């Protein structure tokens, strides 16, 4: 019961804890910012090719799709 007594006494009074602190909270997992889930209908054969390419590069499917979008945007901006 010593642990319980210590735990009970060490708790702060209600309403006197927490709050936003600089640097607190979960850090973003993507340095580019927030990500969204994107649903798209894609031909099965194209997905198979994408998965093969992703496996060769050691990427997951999401990273492969992200890279494909980046390259498409870059190619379009050169025109």
Residue-level pLDDT at 25: 80
Residue-level pLDDT at 60: 96
Residue-wise pLDDT tens digits, 1-60? 555 555 555 555 566 666 778 888 877 777 888 889 999 999 999 999 999 999 999 999
- 3-class SS string, 35-54: CCCCCCCCCHHHHHHHHHHH
DSSP letter string over the chain?
Answer: -HHHHHHHHHSPPTTSS----TT-SPPPSSTT-----------HHHHHHHHHHHHHHT--HHHHHHHHHHHHHHHHHT-
pTM given for the model = 0.61
The Cα–Cα gap between 38 and 62 comes to 10
């Amino acid at each position: 019961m010593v642990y319980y007594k210590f735990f009970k006494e060490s708790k702060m009074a209600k309403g006197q804890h927490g709050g936003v602190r600089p640097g607190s909270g979960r850090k973003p997992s993507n340095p580019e910012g927030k990500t969204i889930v994107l649903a798209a209908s894609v031909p099965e054969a194209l997905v198979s090719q994408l998965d093969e390419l992703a496996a060769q590069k050691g990427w997951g499917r999401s990273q492969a799709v992200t890279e494909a979008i980046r390259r498409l945007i870059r190619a379009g901006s050169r025109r």
